[in-house]
Amino acid sequence: MTKVGFIGLGIMGAPMAANLQAGGYKLYLHDIKNPPASLIDGGATVCTSGAEVAKRADIIIVMVPDTPHVEAALFGDNGVARGLTTGKIVVDMSSISPIATKGFARKINELGCEYLDAPVSGGEVGAKAASLTIMVGGPENAFNTVKPLFALMGKNITLVGGNGDGQTTKVANQIIVALNIQAVAEALLFASKAGADPAKVREALMGGFAASRILEVHGERMIKRTFNPGFRIELHQKDLNLALQGAKALGISLPNTAAAQELMNACAANGMSGLDHSALCRAIELMSNHQIAKS
């Protein structure tokens, strides 16, 4: 059985690693905090560094918050690169810069190893349910080798193209998600202020053309005021920043993406950066002096 390394065991990484363990894989773990006891009790080995993970595992998965964290995990002191030997595969499942990803891939390739960028969508719920969407960039042979692991973590698994294309797809995903959250927030706020029951409005809309996973999941969060994070506002801010940086480099305009980012900035300015991204509705509520539903 292939030995799997997993670096980054937060809200997303921990359940993803648990699904791999449940699938029978031997895990080698590293995190800035102590890995979950459940994984250790299940037989996982805790490593003192990324380099040790890379030495002991055949496939090394990284799942950390942002581009600098991936760079540090891969190329910092005692990072993954220091423990690699020819033929191993590094899989970055974080959501980071497509441009930086291409550079990381070249450095790993120079060490005789393959690299896949494989960001995910589906949040904590999808991570726990092993129903994540996984968007992959990299060589087909490496993708085919790692696909059995992806299948234990997700359901919609697509090799989009070469290195960087997985991250480009994730940025596109985050644009769509942010704009849908904004649309649902505005619609429910409008309905609520007009005197309709937002819960009943959501129920009615779920049977029509406006139905979406965002309306289903995040619309319910807005109504029930359950903003404990599945995916934090500060992380979505990071992703939209990647989109806007990319737009500038490509010479294109993303006006609604910029508007959604400003709403998230407003939430962060009011101390809500750690809330779920569905709490974007709070910025619109503050501007309107009206809540979709009572707390």
User: Is residue 248 classed as helix, strand or coil in its secondary structure?
Assistant: helix
Please state at what angle helix 165-193 crosses helix 198-205, rounded to 10 degrees.
130
Angle at 92 between CA 89 and CA 94, to 5 degrees: 170
User: Is residue 68 classed as helix, strand or coil in its secondary structure?
Assistant: helix
- Of 83, 19, 105, 93, nearest to 62 by C-alpha is 93
20: left (phi over 0), alpha (psi -120 to 50) or beta: alpha
- Of 203, 221, 195, nearest to 295 by C-alpha is 221
Q: b vs e for 40-64, b when ≥16 Cβ sit within 10 Å of the residue's Cβ?
A: eeeebbebebbbbbbbbbbbbbbbb
Q: Which helix (H) or strand (E) holds 87?
A: none
**How many other CB atoms sit within 10 Å of the CB of residue 75?**
15
**Active-site positions?**
170
Gyration radius of the chain's alpha carbons: 20
